[in-house]
Amino acid sequence: MSRHRVKAVAYDDDYDDDDDGYGSPDPEEQEFLEQCTADVLTQLRTGEPSVAATRAEVQEALWHYYNDVEKSVNYIRNKKVKELKKKESAPAPAAKAKGSAVPAFPIPPEPEPYQVPHFSAADFFRDTPWLNVPAHRKADILIEPLYPRLGLLGGNPESGGKVSKLAALAAARKKKEGDKASTATPAPALESEGSKPSLAEPKSASLSLRERLASNGKSPKPQGAQSPRPFGKSSRLGSHSPQKKPPPEPVKEAGSAEITPPRLELEDAVEPAKSQEKEEPAANIRASPSTFASTIVGNASRPKMTEPSPLYSNTLDLITIYGQDLTEPFDFTGPSPDDVVMNAQSSAKGFKSKQSTKAAGDKKNQSDLAGGMNNLSVAEKVNVKSKNLDVLSEYQKAKRKNAMNFAVIGHVDAGKSTLMGRLLADLKAVDQRTLDKYRREAEKIGKGSFALAWVLDQGSEERARGVTIDIATNKFETEKTVFTIVDSPGHRDFVPNMIAGASQADFAVLVIDSSTGNFESGLKGQTKEHALLVRSMGVQRIIVAVNKMDSMQWSKDRYEEIEQQVSSFLTTAGFQPKNIAFVPCSGISGDNITKRSESPNVSWYTGRTLVEELEATEPYSHALDKPLRMTIGDVFRGSVQNPLSISGRLDAGTLQMGDQILTMPSGETATIRSLEVDGEPNDWAVAGQNVVLNLANIDPIHLRSGDVICRASAPIPNITSFKAKVLAFEHLMPSMVDIHRGRLHVPGRISRLVSTLDQRSGAVIKKKPKIVAPGTVARIVVEMDHAVPLEAPTRIVLRAGGDTVAAGLLE
Amino acid sequence: MRLIKNKVELNGSGTVTLCPEEPEDMWHAYNLIRPGDLLRASAIRRVTTTQDTGSTTSARVHLTLEIRVKTLDFDPQSSQLHVGGQIINETPHTKIGQYHTLDLELNRNFTLEKEIGSDGEGVGWDSIAIQMLKDAVDEGGKRRAEAVAVVMQEGIAHICFIGQFQTIMKQKVEMSVPRKRQGGSDHDKGVTKFYQVTLDTLLRQMEFSTSAASLTSNEPVRPVLLTSPGFVAAGFQKHIQSVASTSTPALRRLLPNIVVVHSASGYLHSLAEVLQSPAVKTILADTKYARETKLMDDFLEQLRKETNKATYGPREVESAVDQGAVGRGGGVLIISNRLFRSQDVAERKRWVSLVDRVRDVEGGEVRVLSSDHESGRRLDGLGGVAALLTFPIIEDDVDSDDESQS
């Protein structure tokens, strides 16, 4: 057919041509073949050493070498010499195809030998000694092939000696292509027997590749020399060779007929021809034995075909023919699952293209596959290696400055945030540029006096309204101590937030607005509530900053009046007088905060400045050796590397990187990917430190602020009801309350008033009181709708209707 | 609920035929129907018949069944009432004594019969039942007071429907909103997302049509109360406004009905405070729950100020009534209707007789609070019954009480 034709038409033509070719093969072709055969035979006879070969053999060889006379001669001679040496009977060239050359047949012959090792278990262990049964006995159990012979596909010679139409067609096409291509030797395609009556042994010439391949395994009747296919025998004999190495199995690749006869193994003994060498890599069709199999057989070599197995039938697994062998059983030739994992890990490259592993063999292929599977795994588990530190000893080794948290509390607009902004600014914890920026922006919206507060009030709503809404933390350092400011909101609506802040504090700074009227209203309002709250949450020391003294012209009388009133109140609230300190100051002007006021009006004050008072505070010890407890203050997205972070203060215990933690009440576990202490990365943290934990292996839905982090070994229980000893701030009766513990804020109800108690001795005064009056201590039972992580002894605060009604200790 | 037929005898027995019209009527029916009553309603029953050959056929048959009530199952979320019991009338498809569960349906009549047994078998139509029936039938037709309340705080929103007799918590929205942090804008983003989710949920629950065509419809919109501590509710209102002016103009219909009220916390029990706020009172003038809430507040106030002139708890209140402290001149008995729903006949009789005694003999006032309202829940916390007394009484039997209970 001519190349100038359009493709579609060409196809039609092709078909016609081939159809013609089917009945009557090209006589030119025949002639050429004959000629070549004659040449080869002559050369064989005349060459050194002289060997005799049958026509069939020669033609076979010719066919494989594409009518290359020289190569065929070499090949046949080598073979014959070997056979002679071994005194073995009639070897014959077995089927051969060039490495990855175009397949000579359109059928996919390659799967067939491939499936052979998997035919059955018995087959696989055929040559294990106890299975070494004489052939004649094996023949008895020959099973009729279950599958069609697929003769049509392969041009089955057994079925009436006619090549199938399709096979012939393909052969003819092949030949024509060979003609077109200007190769010196046109490929003699397979000829049908019928068309070659002149051949001495027509059958052998027309043997399909498949047939020949099958013969090496099958041959239910081993007839030796008188076999019309002597090479079948030879291949079997060849495989006797004990020193034969298991070459890698060819990859099953459509289009690459990498089938080489097992006979090639003989080439170990004899110098192989160049062309043969080429074919070697794609040699063995059988799987190399696994360590397991070799152990059983007692020989490192693969199972050998000592006997023609009746199981080696010509039958083909349909699956192997029509598709990939999906049902392939695990063969032990591949790496073990452990190896697979190791390979996958070592070659973190992952999945290589299957195509690229052509001759690499099954082993690699399988490991790649498994590696691919490995990579495919959906849930990416983050493994963080724990350093297994002894955190306590690390902590003792680390010479850190004392770290302390203090809460800034007070009535709304007492100037808490501004005072702290001033403190940070004067201690250079905030740079001047930022301050100037805040000042400009604050003036733009007409709130110039709020500029300092903006250091802590970062929220847009807070700035717009000029009110602190949520707690803000910031840290600064003095020579001795690292302080963390917890700036609380003063507004009564945000007392829950203030409670969260105060629960993180070691001591408190109570800011009081000294200006006329504001002090008085504050004392009734959140000045009182906050002071009571911090006291009931365990804060011992309180520093009272009498703020806005500049607006009172630093009046000593005013200061003393405030001091007297506040100290009497604080004493009744339960603070010891030695733990109360007063500092007159001004947040807006900065007097008596970090530096003494230079104003002559303040000369009467000789006490310490606010910072000096802060530093005078004794450091507190924390329960380092108790089980881990940490209340989540915030759940947020830390950064791209840390998509899930939580912050809070460690209430008790220690933790380190890589630890498994449990969150309550959800009961989910998480891994600490990394952690930060006071904003700096560290490997461990201890109670009392403010930490940010970057978590992995948990869904953020399980984390809410107010949840508790603990360890699975010592979990905090989730409870729905508890008994508590509380100090009543308001009348208590069975009613709905909000329960606060740090960030934890849940609804609940007082279900029972158990008894009122004596404040000092704790003795029961009255059982089952109808109502508990303010200021008395009572034992109550509180129920909640949902289970909440709480355990004794925990300090809780009960609020109702926007007021704190009671605070106390869980029992 | 429409009263179709009323045949209540003087002695308290008799039948009533009612037609529920609104979902809340199911709640009334739930309170009216008691175990032991006879209920007649239409039903669909699957009847299986066995042929002589042994093959079975089953068919769904529409029947009118009369059952003796055994169990009541009320789902307040969907306002569905299932009444189970034994069939007492004979039909071609059912036998007497077979069990059936009647599902009461809207706009389908049902007949309720209460009998007076010889030895206290049933209690018939007692004063409470008659009162409930009157409440249910609502002759005045002034029961349109309904509102939607969104009780929120940062990260939590409760959407509830306030009806005449019930407050139904429809849905809770809970989201983790990041706190403010140094230099982070997560907080604002989180809050906006929270508002949007809450708004979507609210509109879905209200079945509020947001299509452009609905802008012109004059379907009435219920008042929406947004309540929160701090600025959350105000922020939510602002969010709704901005959504209405940008993407969803249909929301403009909603805007005039929004009222922002302060509440102490974002949990449901702060609804009491909301309902007392003047802004809400103007919208929902003289509704039952507002009165009930006021009553509870008065009671608690009394308890605080003059502890001995108020009491609560079943035993304490009964003893106060015995002493004649709940009488003319300010005596008020506050009782939750949960007590009348008791399965135990004797229990119910105890409370009905207490109510009758206070009202008829002592001359005091009786208020029955709906246990499905916030105020009723507060009362339930106190044991379901409380009383404002005309004179202080000293309770000295507390200790003996305590011992007998423990």
- Judge whether B187 is closer than 8 Å to chain A, CB to CB: yes
Of A1, A17, A63, whose CA–CA distance to A187 is shortest?
Answer: A63
| B217 and B100 within one domain | no
Count Cα atoms within 13 angstroms, Cβ side, for A281: 10
Contact B402 A474 (CB under 8 A): no
| B193 and B172 within one domain | yes
- Peptide bond just before A117 cis, omega within 30 deg: no
B24 neighbors B165 (Cβ within 8 angstroms): yes
Answer yes or no: is B239 within a domain: yes
Angle at A233 between CA A228 and CA A238, to 5 degrees: 150
Amino acid A146: pLDDT: 57
For chain A, give the mean pLDDT.
72
- Judge whether B230 is closer than 8 Å to chain A, CB to CB: yes
Please write the tens of the pLDDT for every residue from A9-31. Answer: 444 444 444 444 444 556 677 77
| B151 and B116 within one domain | no
- Judge whether B197 is closer than 8 Å to chain A, CB to CB: no
Amino acid A390: pLDDT: 79
Percent of residues, chain B, with pLDDT higher than 70: 90
Amino acid B379: pLDDT: 87
Please write the tens of the pLDDT for every residue from B216-274. Answer: 677 778 888 899 988 899 999 999 999 988 888 888 888 888 889 888 888 888 887 88
Which residue do the tokens 């016609």 mark?
A16
Residue B5 has phi, psi (to 5 degrees) of -150, 135
Q: What is the mean pLDDT of residues A517-533?
A: 86
Partners of A550 in the β-ladder: none
| B38 and B11 within one domain | yes
* Residue B61 CB neighbours (<10 A): 14
Question: Mind telling me how many Å the CA of A365 is from chain B's nearest CA?
Answer: 48
Answer yes or no: is B142 within a domain: no
Q: What is the mean pLDDT of residues B265-293?
A: 78
Number of compact structural domains in chain B: 3
d(CA B192, CA B179): 13
User: Which residues of B, range 354-383, sit inside 8 Å of A by Cβ?
Assistant: 377-378, 381-383
Alpha carbon distances (Å) from A52 to A8, A84, A86, A180: 49, 11, 16, 34
Question: The domain A629-710 is classified under which CATH number: 3.30.2270.10, 2.40.110.10, 1.10.1030.10, 2.40.30.10?
Answer: 2.40.30.10
A403 neighbors A481 (Cβ within 8 angstroms): yes
Amino acid A234: pLDDT: 43
Per DSSP, B128 falls in state: H
Q: Structure tokens of B54?
A: 């042994």
| B328 and B265 within one domain | no
Q: What is the mean pLDDT of residues A288-295?
A: 68
* Residue A428 CB neighbours (<10 A): 11
Contact B270 A768 (CB under 8 A): no
Of A597, A567, A601, whose CA–CA distance to A582 is shortest?
Answer: A567
A221 neighbors A202 (Cβ within 8 angstroms): no
d(CA A49, CA A37): 18
Amino acid B157: pLDDT: 92
Chain B, nearest residue to A460 by Cα: B188
A285 neighbors A210 (Cβ within 8 angstroms): no
Count Cα atoms within 13 angstroms, Cβ side, for A208: 30
Give the strand pairing for A680-682 and A668-677.
antiparallel
Which amino acid is located at A587 in the chain?
G
| B374 and B265 within one domain | no
Contact A637 B188 (CB under 8 A): no
Of B186, B179, B188, B183, whose CA–CA distance to A434 is shortest?
Answer: B183
Contact B180 A472 (CB under 8 A): yes
d(CA A755, CA A767): 4
Alpha carbon distances (Å) from A31 to A26, A54, A722, B84, B296: 9, 18, 107, 101, 119
| B107 and B66 within one domain | yes
Please write the tens of the pLDDT for every residue from A168-189. Answer: 777 788 777 766 654 444 444 4
CATH number at residue B270: 3.30.420.60
What's the topology of domain A718-810? Elongation Factor Tu (Ef-tu); domain 3 (2.40.30)
- E strands within B220-325? 224-228, 258-262, 310-312
B345 neighbors B37 (Cβ within 8 angstroms): no
Answer yes or no: is B75 within a domain: yes
Range of the domain at B211: 147-283
B95 class by beta-carbon count within 10 Å (0-12 exposed, 13-18 middle, 19+ buried): exposed
| B160 and B277 within one domain | yes
Contact B188 A459 (CB under 8 A): yes
| B41 and B113 within one domain | yes
In order, the DSSP letters of A341-396 are HHHHHHTTT----GGGGTTT-HHHHHHHHHHHHHHH-SS-----------HHHHHH
- Identify all chain B residues contacting A750, using CB atoms and an 8 Å cutoff: 381
Contact B401 A465 (CB under 8 A): no
CATH number at residue B46: 2.30.30.870
Amino acid A98: pLDDT: 44
Please write the tens of the pLDDT for every residue from A592-620. Answer: 888 887 878 888 888 888 888 888 888 88
- Identify all chain B residues contacting A733, using CB atoms and an 8 Å cutoff: 300, 303, 312, 382
Residue that finishes a domain, picked among B73, B104, B137: B137
| B15 and B83 within one domain | yes
Backbone CA torsion sign across B270, B271, B275, B277: positive
B203 neighbors B195 (Cβ within 8 angstroms): no
Q: Which of B186, B270, B381 sits opposite A749 (nearest CB)?
A: B381
A287 confidence band (pLDDT: 50, 70, 90): low
Check residues A495 and A1 and name the one with the higher pLDDT.
Answer: A495
- Identify all chain B residues contacting A734, using CB atoms and an 8 Å cutoff: 312, 381-383
B111 neighbors B32 (Cβ within 8 angstroms): no
d(CA A757, CA A726): 10
Per DSSP, A794 falls in state: -
CATH number at residue B292: 3.30.1330.30
| B170 and B125 within one domain | no
Question: The domain A411-615 is classified under which CATH number: 3.30.1300.10, 3.30.1360.70, 3.90.1150.10, 3.40.50.300?
Answer: 3.40.50.300
d(CA B25, CA B2): 9
A239 confidence band (pLDDT: 50, 70, 90): very low
A310 neighbors A138 (Cβ within 8 angstroms): yes
- Identify all chain B residues contacting A735, using CB atoms and an 8 Å cutoff: 300, 378, 381-382
Give the strand pairing for A645-652 and A629-636.
antiparallel
* Residue B245 CB neighbours (<10 A): 12
Of A541, A508, A540, A506, whose CA–CA distance to A527 is shortest?
Answer: A508
d(CA B12, CA B128): 11
d(CA A305, CA A222): 13
Query: CB within 8 A of B291, min separation 6: which ones?
Result: none
Answer yes or no: is B392 within a domain: yes
Asked if domains A629-710 and A718-810 share a fold, the reply is yes
- Identify all chain A residues contacting B271, using CB atoms and an 8 Å cutoff: none
Domain-by-domain residue ranges, chain A?
1-87+160-206, 90-157+207-331, 337-376, 411-615, 629-710, 718-810
Count Cα atoms within 13 angstroms, Cβ side, for A780: 32
Q: What is the mean pLDDT of residues A249-257?
A: 44
Question: Mind telling me how many Å the CA of A642 is from chain B's nearest CA?
Answer: 15
Which amino acid is located at A237 in the chain?
L
Minimum mean pLDDT range among A64-68, A193-197, A503-507, B309-313: A193-197
| B227 and B195 within one domain | yes
- Judge whether B178 is closer than 8 Å to chain A, CB to CB: yes
Chain B, nearest residue to A636 by Cα: B178
Count Cα atoms within 13 angstroms, Cβ side, for A241: 21
B61 confidence band (pLDDT: 50, 70, 90): confident
- Judge whether B231 is closer than 8 Å to chain A, CB to CB: yes
- Chains A and B form CB pairs within 8 A to the count of 108
